Structure 1
Amino acid sequence: MPIVLAILLIIVAALGGLAGGMLLARRQVKQMMLDNPPLNEDAVRIMMGSMGRKPSETQVQQVLRQIRSAAKQADKKK
Structure 2
Amino acid sequence: MWYVLVGILALAAGVALGFFIARKYMMDYLKKNPPINEQMLRMMMMQMGQKPSQKKINQMMAQMNKQMDGK
Per the normalisation by structure 1, the TM-score is 0.65
Q: Structure 1 residues 27 and 34, CA, compared in 2 at 3 Å: closer, same or farther? A: same
Aligned-residue CA RMSD (Å)? 2.2
- Residue 26 (structure 2) aligns with: 29
Q: How does 1:1-78 map to 2 (within 5 A)?
A: 4-50=1-47, 51-56=49-54, 60-73=57-70, 75=71
13-22 or 37-46: which moved more? Answer: 37-46
CA distance in 2: counterparts of 1:53 and 1:68, whole angstroms: 22
Match for 1:18: what amino acid?
Answer: V
Identity %: 26
Question: How many pairs align?
Answer: 70
Bigger CA radius of gyration: 1
Deviation of 1:7 after TM superposition, in Å, equals: 2.2
Deviation at 1:37, TM superposition (A): 2.0
Provide Cα deviations, 1:20-46, integer angstroms capped at 9, x if missing partner. 111111222222223322112231111
